[in-house]
Structure 1
Amino acid sequence: MKGLTADRVPLANDISRKSKLGSLSNHGACINIAQVLGLYGEMGEESLNSLSKIRQKPVELKKNQQVFSVCEGRADIFVIKEGWASLSHATNSRGQDVCNIFMPGDIIGMRESFFESRDIIIFPITNCELIKVSGDHLHALCKENEEVRKAITSYVMVNDNITIERLRSCTHHRSVERVAHFLLEVYARFKFKGLLEGNVFDFPVTQETVGELLGMTSVHVSRCMTALEQKKFIRKTRSSVKLLKPEEMAKNTGFDSDFIYGHICLG
């Protein structure tokens, strides 16, 4: 692999600097809106208690069930406790284009909730357990609580940074490096939340979805995965990926988690 070389390529070690904010290491047991936002900004007990009192409702989605759509007024917000899902913005001209994927500990619809009448379509990649959070109630709390407001801003910033980095990779790298960069992104997202020990992570995302995100065909994604395996950078099974040389992959792709999480780590 050839590509951009970064002088400094922080991954898991630098991400761990934010440990004072806690983690979601108990996985689904403690994943809720308060715990997730607590990763993105310092919050006291009063703020966490206020978040826990917001109207919330458990939602289950089955893999490949009919698309779940939210529309009319302010979009609802969903915290993923278990499973993976993709997000699309429905338009008459483009249909349903996948614009992002979400894993345990992510919040779907946070950015979209700031816009009126913005349709979001959630499609479960696996069976999912979600928590539906009232967007109106969360926004009301955001206006009166500075800690919650800063955490929400930080969460939106992180997800925008992820999108910007993915776009930069797609415009500057060849296809194999795009896929490697995307795998490092997923790895860093797991590490940040404290949901991963070692270099093996769940990856149930289809090649079609990866292709949608990276501007490639599913066949091309498959070839890139094979190339990364042949170069001994990854080992892939049907539903997981092991990064064998994450630091070398990061140097070859210019991936740097500080571009995504630096403002939190240094906060």
Structure 2
Amino acid sequence: MDARYDLAGRTAIVTGGAGGLGRGIARALRDAGAAVELWDADPDGLAEAVAELGVAWRRVDITEPGLVEAAAAAAFAEHGRIDILVNNAGILGEVKPIWETDPRNFEAVLRVNLFGTYLVSRAVIGRMRELRSRAGIGGHPLRGHVVNIASIQGKEGMARAGAYSASKAGVIALTKSMAKETARDGIVVTAVTPAAAETAMAKQITAERRADILSRIPMGRFVEIEEVARMVLWLASGECSFSTGGIFDLSGGRATY
């Protein structure tokens, strides 16, 4: 059976929309009927993604509080409401042992992956709480869904990936905190923890590093972008109504908890 989700009448923001994973998620949301807006700081990549998908866009540096606040205000004014937020933007950073890392690079990874997720969530959720609710399963009110893209490295850590692992662990903890804060507002906040996917980020690593990562995945392959997108579809739909704070693995068996 092919599970299908009807997101007609919903509006979604996908950060990091210029990248491969962001595009895949945006495509799935669009195909399910949602109006989608991509946020990214990369103008060239954003132009390519918009040309490919035919969706709305906004150039946003998610590490700048004023720019994020202005973008959120403009998005709500333009669309009337934002029902779905997918915090997908992220960078890998250096692949080095901690004592060889550049503090500025470590900080940059935390700023994009964790601080950026916080800023966008702060701006969007604050406005989402004021929306008119829709009746969810059992008549329980739903105002929106927030899906954060974390990583299996946020659960397990990984050698030579201190900044990335720490940032994604922070995203997991932030997800649980926000879920508790919005549980009675009808806002469902979840995260997914994928293993590595075949994206531009994966192409930044060496063949040796790739082999190391693959050796840790019992299924012996990277996760497909479409597999992540399908998980996000459910988490962004009205079918996901009682899983707030949940962390959903896409690790090919790598997850140990």
TM-score (norm 1): 0.31
Task: State the structure with bigger RCO (CA 8 A, min sep 6), 1 or 2.
Answer: 1
Higher-Rg member (1/2): 1
